[in-house]
Copies of this chain bind each other. A is one copy, B any other.
Amino acid sequence: MLTFDEKKITSPTLVVDQRVCQRNIRNMLKRARDHQVNLRPHFKTHQSALVGGWHKALGITSITVSSLNMALYFAKHGWKDITVAFPLNIREMHKVNQLASGIKLNVLIESMEQLEALESALKFPVGLFMKIDAGSHRTGVAAENVALIGALINKIKSMDKARFKGFLTHAGHSYKATSKAEVLTVHQETTAKMVNLKSHFSAVAPDIIVSLGDTPTASLADSFENVDEIRPGNFVYYDVMQKNIGSCQWEDIAVAVACPIVAKHETRNEIVVYGGAVHFSKDSLTDNDHRQYFGLVVPMGPEGWGAPLPGCYMASLSQEHGVVKMDPAHFGKFHIGDLLYILPIHSCLTVDVIPDMITLEGEVVDNMKTSGANIYSDKTQVAD
């Protein structure tokens, strides 16, 4: 039952359906347990202590984050086992030490320069995952470069405060897939390379952990043989992009953005909302008619939102404006001052930029960046 008061929403606000979100967490946890892999969810998607608590309540204790600042935020909120899945930035060694003094911290390395910086700066034990490029070609040591991989392992073994944990990869190219079959092909190729590496180096390094990221393969793969850990993030909310890839169904999308309607243009069947690039970010998709879109309109009911209204989509975004193309059948149902609910294309980036979040029940969703001061309050933070 929808219990937040729509009247109190005065600016673009992310609404989280916590029943859907918690079901997504349970489903992913069940998949992990069924396949006997550790689930180390990536918290960059929600960046929220509250949503983190929903994971903790289900027994999850190890997490992934995308920056040392995010690790500090979650460490402050009681998380004790954190992997920072971003190439170690050697300019932030003070934060590495700050974290490692209190929790089990893993960082990512892929070069001798990073190991040398760690060797000279580390004051507390830190686990090291080696980032492997298994095909996405963003970053990491190429899986084929066993000479460098071996040299890095040997160097780590010689270090006092560092411990080699295993190989970590992110099959980022799975986001470009357009079908389950394509996702599974990426997964099989990635897994094969990682398992080969584990086997190749098992003599010099026993207990190598193979850690895979990305929501599409974690959501769809049928086999995780010889994989030790998965690190999906986006699954907690999903979004239109994941629906398009096939990772989820409409009813699994756990976030929508409530946007006040500020103008209507009948000759073009367009609605202008308060809700722009600074609320959604600018990720977009292209439909079968080659139209670019930045979000899809959903109808709101007493039990939450439904599937997208056909022919109603966010057609363009400027800094604060969103222009929504409406099917003529729906155009007349919405009025200036109403809220329009829009599913984001990429929930991770929308969460990162939008200042205000609440649950369907009206609870403020605190996160790393925001105070929630604008929500349910006549006073804005900036005016105090």
A69 at the interface (CB under 8 A from B): yes
A349's partner among B44, B95, B277, B369 (CB-CB below 8 A) is B277
A263's partner among B92, B94, B111 (CB-CB below 8 A) is B111
Q: Please report which residues of chain A, range 125-144, place their CB below 8 angstroms from some CB of chain B when the two chains form the complex.
A: 137-140, 142
A278's partner among B10, B262, B349, B355 (CB-CB below 8 A) is B349
Contact B272 A113 (CB under 8 A): no
Q: Please report which residues of chain A, range 96-142, place their CB below 8 angstroms from some CB of chain B when the two chains form the complex.
A: 98, 110-111, 113-114, 117, 137-140, 142
Distance A316 CA – B69 CA, assembled complex (angstroms) = 23
Contact A89 B11 (CB under 8 A): yes
> Which stretch from A26-34, A151-159, A181-189, A374-382 is at the chain B interface?
A374-382
A-B contact pairs, 5 of them (CB 8 A): A69-B382, A72-B382, A86-B262, A86-B274, A319-B352
A320's partner among B67, B110, B264, B378 (CB-CB below 8 A) is B67
Nearest opposing residue in chain B for A175, CB measure: B318
Distance A44 CA – B277 CA, assembled complex (angstroms) = 13
Contacts of A86 in B (CB 8 A): 262, 274, 320-321
Further contacts, 7 of them, CB under 8 A, given A10-B94, A44-B320: A11-B91, A72-B383, A76-B382, A88-B262, A91-B337, A110-B263, A142-B267
Contacts of A72 in B (CB 8 A): 380, 382-383
Nearest opposing residue in chain B for A113, CB measure: B336
A323 at the interface (CB under 8 A from B): yes
